[in-house]
Structure 1
Amino acid sequence: MGAGLVGRVAEVVALDELRAAAAHGSGAVALLTGEAGIGKTAVVEESVSRAAAAGVVVLAGRADPDEGAPAFWPWLRLLDSDVDGLDPSLLSLADAGESASAARFRAMRDVVSALAAAAASAPLVLVLEDLHWADPASIALLTALSREVATTRILVLGTSRTELDLPDATVLPLRPWDVPAVAAYLDRLGDTPAHGTWAPVVHELGGGNPLYTREVGRLLAREGRLARPAGDIDLPDGLRRLVARRTAHLTPACRELLGVASAVGAEVDATVLDLGDLAPAIEAGVLVDDPWAPARLRFAHELVRQACYAGMTRDARIRAHALIADALADAGAGPIEIARHRVRAAADPESRRLAAEACVAAARHATGELDHGEAVHWLTRALENAPSHDIRLERAGAAYRDGRLDLAVSDCEAIVDEVGAPAALVIRGLGGLGSVLAPALIRLCERALALDLGEADRAQVLAQYAFLIAEMHDAGRAEPISREAMELASRSGHPGALVAAIHARHELLDPMDSVDEVLELARRGVELAGPSGRPDAELWSRTWLLDARLCLGDLAEFDAECTRLAELVDRLGWPVARWHLLRARAARAMLAGRFAEAAATAVEARDLALRAQDTSAGLLLQAFQSGLALLTGETLHWPDDLAAMTMRFPGVPIGVTQLARIAMEMGEREIAAEHVAQMRGILPRLPVDGRRPFIVLSAGEVAAWVGDLELAAECYRLGLRYADLYLNSMSACFGSASRLLGVIAAALGEPAAGEHFSAAVAMEERLGSAPFVALSQITYARFLRPDDHRAARVLAGRALATARRLGMPAIAAEAAALAGDDQLTAREREIAALVAQGLSNRAIADRLVLSERTVETHVRSILRKLGLTGRADLRGETQYQH
């Protein structure tokens, strides 16, 4: 064991064993964890020394705590080696034609493959220190390597103050030294053993932290006190003063150079910044030279660097950061690293101007890397140094892309009277009943329209204004504003104005009744996205195309469009874009019968939108879950938030209809009837927009269920236009409109009911959505049973097979009863009837004079044959209550 290592025998032995296993092809990841100064680096150095003595190649990298470090920084350092096949260029993301995420994935795979190939020739030990400061990309690469390291000749040795989420890693937590370990360390500092009274005193003072213990021990050794009994130690507060004493013998020039070095960061690259002679600081143990990179120096510990930095005067710090920024700029360093030092050197008008310029450059670099949160950070720094409307507008855009809508709105409100249209147009495509931002966005438009705007700008603001008003359920007011926007946009020929006008026009369409126009608007939106410089135009257009393909039942084109949207999401990196992609994937999973995936993806979409402060996402999730419950039979809960929203905005058609539908699905006839009654006054003034199909068909179905045949008849008349389409969208899927029309027609006694049901089955079969095929079959079978029992049994039998396969217990139970093919024995039917009445296994056993275990076995068999998930699904099933 190395002479300088104290109390870490178990950890070093464990690392030796892991290294030996790696040499034989069973690689591993080991993570040393513990607080600052606990001795992680000392254990690493001992392990590396033993590995080098065994002829193992060691590569090392270290994370940097400062905000200027680029992605993959420790890996870039590690790969900068003489090993064949390893080079920092493996992590280059500059590959034209790739999305950011695809380029990153490719680079990580290249590194993992290159390391495995290099280790095939000779075992490798990869040292990654200070991973608690590592960027997410570096941790992702470590995670990727950890999944494949077990079959390689690689030992990865990492250090971190905190545990990392690496399930396959061997974690070796380092604890503080105990009193005997402190005593062992103190004994090594002098020619004779330390007096036995010192160990408990030093242990109490430093808490067993090796760094503090070393500093106190070295101080006592220099003062020659260790051989005498312990006494009072006139120590200053904390480590900073200890470091000051440790560096007191250095020349003032060397201490000044140390201050500049501490301002650079954890490491100093001598090829960028020539600090002169720092050899005395290295000899004092304040700085450490890196044997794998002689041009770089690092502080012995981050706390040492902080102590040196804290010891500088304000003026010295400012001068140091200005010097570093100039050197980095001359060396062509990254804009974020330069900005970090420019900000810390900003003390007068000229330096604040330079800081603001550097921060804007850093923000634009971050935007290019799709890191919109980092862009907001640097634009905020820029505003602190040089407030301007242009920078604030740029920050509003970055905040919008990052999903921080409150900051974006605040910035726009502060400058709209000065900059006009651009401030009113930052946040696009959001609004509606559930959005708390809609009123603020409307006010932004009104303030901009009060200014003297050019034709193109006025067209764009009018279009935004019309969109928001329509989203707030006032289509009558929005329609003429939208028309004016389109006229101005067409006259101006401005691509951005045309995009905005198209968006407003789409908001005032019934997409099922005008699906061809929707497709054309979407085509134009995609086409204009490039010329207008409006990537959001392509985003909205792709979402319209997705909904249109669901409405038409074209799943092949829907899947292709999902792929295009995913590529766009990768390019943009916007939370709102990913939200739409998740909604699309949830709808597709529902149509395919992957119910658990659909539910989980819909919740993920909701959570993402809520983080971006779009409160309407919660209402959209309820709509999606309502459609899903049609298939799964899951019990819905009364949505208090939607009910409260509807009370706050009384008479809003979509809210009233959704509550009526949920009440019907919960079996609450009186509540459903109350909401249906409200629809009587709403239906005559129902606006023509994207909500109309759902409102008309759902209100008609609920009206038929509660017996309001007059309203049902009116909904049936209005809904006939949708007969050949699907009431499916990314918001919710309810299947063929013909099935809903058939339900309404059956309640009205319309002869066309059977034709609607037959068409619905054919449509769902053509679509290829097995869950909705089963739903249409069972609905049709229910209608046929009184007059054509044989046909009903055939349809129910088909529905039963699908429902059991996909896990649709409610449909499976009804289908089994209608098909007369539930496969239950006489005893099972008897027990099923008692379960349906709510009896427990014990009560059934007593009544039938059976053992409770026998009843339990029968119940499991019944549930399996009927495709049910639990005994609760049997309760209330009247077909077994005989």
Structure 2
Amino acid sequence: MRSTLPERDGTAQEPAGVELIGRSREEALLDDFLAGSATGGAALLVLGEAGVGKTALLDLAAARAAVRGFRVLRAAGVEFESEMSYTGLRRVLSPLLAGLARLSPPQEQALSVALGLTEGQPPSQLAVANATLSLLRDAPAGRPLLLIVDDLPWIDAVSATVLAFVARRLVGGRVGFLAAFRTGEGGCFEGAGLDELEVKPLDDDAAACLVAMRFPALSLRARQLVLDQAEGNPLALLELPRVLDRPQDAEVAPGTAVLPLSQRLEGMFATRVSQLPDNTRTVLLLAALEGTGDIRLLEAAAAPEGGLSSLSHAERGELVHVDMSRSRLDFRHSLVRSAVVQMASPGQQRSAHAALAEQLQDQPYRRAMHLAGATEGKDESVAGLVERAAVEMQRRGDPVGAVTALRRAAELSSHGRDESRRLAQAAYLRADVTGDLRGVPELLTDARRADAASTQSLASAVALSSHRLHIDGDVDSAHRTVVEAIDALADRGAPDQTLIEALYYLVAISSFGARDELWRPVHAAIDRLGPRVPEFLALLATTYADPVRLARPMLGRLDTAVARLTSDTDPGHIVRVAIAAGYVDRLPACRGALSRVVEHGRTGGAITAAIQALLLLGNDAFSAGEWDRAWQLCGEGLELCESHGYRLLGWPIMHQRAMIAAARGDNVEAFAVADHLDTWATPRRVGLVTAYASGIRALAALGRGQADEAFRHANAVSPAGNLASHLPYAMWAILDLVDAATLAGRHREAAAHAAAAERARLREISPRLALITIGASAIAAPDDRKRDLFEEALAVPGADRHPFEFARITLYQGEHLRRSKAVEEARGPLAAARRIFQRLGAEPWAQRAAREIRAAGRSTGIQPAERAELTEQQREIAQLAATGLTNKQIGERLFLSSRTVGTHLYQVFPKLGVTSRAELRDALAKLPSDDRDK
């Protein structure tokens, strides 16, 4: 929550041990924060305009925390290193690194690699964040810990993401997190749900008191000038009097505005810096560009200037503070650092960067960035180093920093071809990972300008096609661009990362197009790679591209890949394997990994992967009957799509929510979405999206009892008797088409479509598809075969984990039994189906079941006493199932086949009024005592 304080509650930039002027309420809030941190962990963000006194409040908190026995760690953002991954986190954690050995081996490895202490597989941001949290919580017991971070906007983005993650999870420990940033510049901390203290400028009385106390000799006119121009900003109130040391400086009439405050302060700092000796300014420039305040490094870099002895002038001027006990130099305010850099000439800045690079021979990552700053004009060798630094940034999970580094590498490139390639790689990262699609066209334009042939570059083709696909939905153009670029490549051995990404995009394009001719080049290109094809691509080209015809031989490999996701830290790879698992019902095993991807995106990670993970988790929740959760997940995904421009990814998410609306009878919402999808997709020939629209309409029409309309729309997804090639969505419409055809009297079409599902051997792919396939066959079968087929469908192991389909087939069974005059027998399945529909909120389907119950001559409120009694064997099987035994284990104990056990349980469920094994124990306990004691 934000604490909005009255105007008179301000602060002055006083030393931490001195009482602050006009900040009594802020002091009370800081005291409460420290008390909470010491007992149960807490986080507080201090925000306000530049110079308003945020650092003074941090100083005060540090002093009071030390008195209370806290161990205080302090760090601040560094402008030059704001694009260098994990540098901020290393500064924050430096005093605690001796405790890395106390972490678990995976956490120690993750944090050591991220901080550049060791080499290894780059960890995910989530792994680094969890390791950081553990390191803070596991600090030596006995003293609470206070972590203070100033100038958050200049903390590198990856470190800021980790710190935001940690700050939200401190409850329960004895760690406090206190950080400051300028209003509107908090990055991932803004809107993070943390307590906030907004610091306002001082009111007139507090400002006048501060100036009078600190500058008692200042003339009245000069004092009023300071008050007028400072406008209550404490930093200006304390700094402006320092330049009014000559009488003529105060001859400006009070109330006259000269410059905006920020520009006045910048100019004031520049004046103070310009008065320093040249060698002092040189050392200050080194410190400003080095960023970490490492005294030893600065001493070595400044050796030609006489070392750090000249810093005494800057200390007397209160520009910097040198703490030899910590071997650290700190600038008094970030504006000082900015002024130092801005006052230096380009040549001076290059010389300082070169001196720093010379001292960083053992840190190639930082050295490359300083070499880039030291280089004027083109230098391919430095460009190559910076490009490798960009690769390292990407490996560490900092694609935003990688984009910046690639752009700098492009500027340094000696050849147009290399410049274009690096710009195209930056464009690709923006399109695929960072969520910044709007910046892609500019980068591609610059790439083409650098090299007229850049449109033939594979990296350019991938970036361009990604932009077209996500923004415009231009499937055919995007497909043609990538295919031509791939075909232009010579086969040079193992595929590089750009080719792999190009093939992945080709899969994505072709899946949305949902036409055979789009997939043929995909299969041809992957076939050319042979055994060199990455596993996720081989899976996507089969289980995702056309599971009806290609999935079964790949299921074992897919299951292995899914099992490995438990230890996978790469969000992109997790999502790609999960996409391959989606249509063949392996998503439940992907839930944990996909949840990590979503959390990674929520904390500033890979946005594209997070959107896809939210969709996949939504699909899984829909199948599992967790419709409210599916709705929420899809809503979050849509917000990300809208805020980052991923229009195409929004269509599958809109479809998922519209299917929930259709199943629940919200036809206005369902048809509005279907019309929207159709209007956009039809002229663009985006076949998957038009299929989505038809699927929504088919389900909504079935809920309304409009069989002919439902059949027409389901038939548009895939014609009766045919499961469309390279449109796996056709499998999701099987039950709708067979149900609609039967209700419409189109028995031949129903039978043909059920037979097509059987020929495709879909029942061998997953329990859900077995339930649907056998259930469809039961609906379309002659009356003398229906009973056995319905029983077989509902006895499929795990069928009840898909409650909507399970309830529909249970309903169809009850309808068949009622029409076959087995009225008493029909009541159980009909009542069970109705209960599931009611739990899901599928009101049209619950009403359909209720009508059937009434037609069976029974009230729709079926009481437990009215249920048929269990046989002795059914009771025994139910009791064993309630203990958690599988069908196979029960069968082994009772000398029955697992299929027979499943059939009995299918009969038990409606009798007990339950829909899953989890409900068996309670249902058995509620039976009359004579039934339990049989």
TM-score of the pair, normalised by structure 2: 0.70
CA contact (8 A) 1:434 1:619 kept: no
Other-structure match for 2:695:
658
State how far apart, in whole Å, the 2-side matches of 1:52 and 1:613 are. 48
Report the alpha carbon displacement of residue 184 of structure 1 after superposing the two structures with TM: 2.2
Q: 1:442 to 1:344 in 2, by over 3 A?
A: same
State how far apart, in whole Å, the 2-side matches of 1:535 and 1:186 are. 54
Report the alpha carbon displacement of residue 212 of structure 1 after superposing the two structures with TM: 1.5
Q: Does 1:159 align with 2:195?
A: no
> Which moved further from structure 2: 441-450 or 704-713?
704-713
Tell me the secondary structure at the aligned position of residue 408 of structure 2. Answer: helix
Q: 1:333 to 1:738 in 2, by over 3 A?
A: same
CA-based RMSD of the aligned residues comes to 5.3
CA contact (8 A) 1:579 1:609 kept: yes
**Within 5 Å, which residues of 2 pair with 1:746-785?**
752-763=785-796, 766=799, 768-785=801-818
Q: Does 1:791 align with 2:829?
A: no
CA contact (8 A) 2:600 2:610 kept: no
> Which moved further from structure 2: 353-362 or 408-417?
408-417
Query: Amino acid of the residue matched to residue 391 of structure 1?
Result: R
State how far apart, in whole Å, the 2-side matches of 1:735 and 1:597 are. 24
Q: Does 1:66 align with 2:80?
A: yes
Q: What number of residue pairs does the alignment pair up?
A: 794
Query: Amino acid of the residue matched to residue 217 of structure 1?
Result: P
CA contact (8 A) 2:514 2:686 kept: no
Which of 92, 102, 105 is matched with 2:111 structurally?
A: 92
State percent identity of aligned pairs. Answer: 19
Q: Does 1:262 align with 2:283?
A: no
Tell me the secondary structure at the aligned position of residue 348 of structure 1. Answer: coil
Other-structure match for 1:642:
677
Q: 1:545 to 1:794 in 2, by over 3 A?
A: same
Query: Amino acid of the residue matched to residue 371 of structure 1?
Result: D
Which of 533, 558, 568 is matched with 1:496 structurally?
A: 533
Deviations 1:329-372 (A, max 9, x none): 33x3361x4444333333233xx435412321221111211223
Report the alpha carbon displacement of residue 282 of structure 1 after superposing the two structures with TM: 0.7
Other-structure match for 1:832:
none
Q: Does 1:359 align with 2:391?
A: no
Q: 1:75 to 1:26 in 2, by over 3 A?
A: same
Q: 1:375 to 1:84 in 2, by over 3 A?
A: closer
CA contact (8 A) 1:416 1:424 kept: no
Report the alpha carbon displacement of residue 303 of structure 1 after superposing the two structures with TM: 1.4
Query: Amino acid of the residue matched to residue 180 of structure 1?
Result: D
Other-structure match for 1:343:
372
State how far apart, in whole Å, the 1-side matches of 2:277 and 2:615 are. 65
Query: Amino acid of the residue matched to residue 774 of structure 2?
Result: S
State how far apart, in whole Å, the 2-side matches of 1:176 and 1:233 are. 19
Q: Which runs of 5+ in 2 are unaligned?
A: 1-13, 864-912, 916-934
> Which moved further from structure 2: 682-691 or 37-46?
682-691
Other-structure match for 1:880:
none
Q: 1:68 to 1:706 in 2, by over 3 A?
A: same
Which of 471, 477, 480 is matched with 1:442 structurally?
A: 480
Which of 451, 475, 478 is matched with 2:516 structurally?
A: 475
Tell me the secondary structure at the aligned position of residue 648 of structure 1. Answer: coil
Other-structure match for 2:932:
none
CA contact (8 A) 1:71 1:138 kept: no
State how far apart, in whole Å, the 2-side matches of 1:57 and 1:82 are. 11
State how far apart, in whole Å, the 1-side matches of 2:708 and 2:121 are. 59
Report the alpha carbon displacement of residue 542 of structure 1 after superposing the two structures with TM: 5.5
State how far apart, in whole Å, the 2-side matches of 1:448 and 1:662 are. 41
State how far apart, in whole Å, the 2-side matches of 1:453 and 1:824 are. 69
State how far apart, in whole Å, the 1-side matches of 2:97 and 2:112 are. 22
Deviations 1:770-823 (A, max 9, x none): 443323222322333232221221112223444455555444444455443444
Other-structure match for 1:842:
none
Q: 1:577 to 1:822 in 2, by over 3 A?
A: same
Other-structure match for 2:227:
203
Tell me the secondary structure at the aligned position of residue 92 of structure 1. Answer: helix
**Within 5 Å, which residues of 2 pair with 1:353-752?**
353-386=380-413, 387-389=416-418, 391-392=422-423, 394-395=425-426, 398-399=429-430, 401-402=432-433, 407=440, 410=444, 435-446=473-484, 448-449=486-487, 472-475=513-516, 488-489=528-529, 495-496=532-533, 504=541, 509=546, 511-512=547-548, 514-519=550-555, 522=558, 543-548=579-584, 550=585, 559-560=588-589, 578=610, 581-605=613-637, 615-625=647-657, 627-628=659-660, 632-635=664-667, 636-638=670-672, 639-645=674-680, 647-648=682-683, 654=691, 657-658=694-695, 660-662=697-699, 664-665=701-702, 667=704, 672=710, 675=713, 686-687=724-725, 690-694=728-732, 698-706=736-744, 711-712=749-750, 714-721=752-759, 725=763, 736-744=772-780, 752=785
State how far apart, in whole Å, the 2-side matches of 1:99 and 1:176 are. 42
> Which moved further from structure 2: 230-239 or 27-36?
230-239
Q: Which runs of 5+ in 1 are unaligned?
A: 551-556, 826-864, 868-882
Query: Amino acid of the residue matched to residue 759 of structure 2?
Result: R
CA contact (8 A) 1:266 1:302 kept: no
CA contact (8 A) 1:433 1:472 kept: no
State how far apart, in whole Å, the 1-side matches of 2:740 and 2:683 are. 23
CA contact (8 A) 1:519 1:544 kept: no
Other-structure match for 1:286:
319
CA contact (8 A) 2:664 2:843 kept: yes
State how far apart, in whole Å, the 1-side matches of 2:436 and 2:256 are. 52
**Within 5 Å, which residues of 2 pair with 1:67-146?**
67-68=81-82, 73=87, 76-81=90-95, 92-94=111-113, 99-101=123-125, 103-115=127-139, 117-118=140-141, 120=142, 122-134=143-155, 135-138=157-160, 140-141=162-163, 144=166
Other-structure match for 1:186:
211
State how far apart, in whole Å, the 2-side matches of 1:48 and 1:10 are. 16
Report the alpha carbon displacement of residue 664 of structure 1 after superposing the two structures with TM: 1.7
> Which moved further from structure 2: 51-60 or 559-568?
559-568
CA contact (8 A) 2:738 2:780 kept: yes
Q: 1:476 to 1:262 in 2, by over 3 A?
A: closer
State how far apart, in whole Å, the 2-side matches of 1:381 and 1:222 are. 46
Report the alpha carbon displacement of residue 245 of structure 1 after superposing the two structures with TM: 3.5
Q: 1:103 to 1:130 in 2, by over 3 A?
A: same
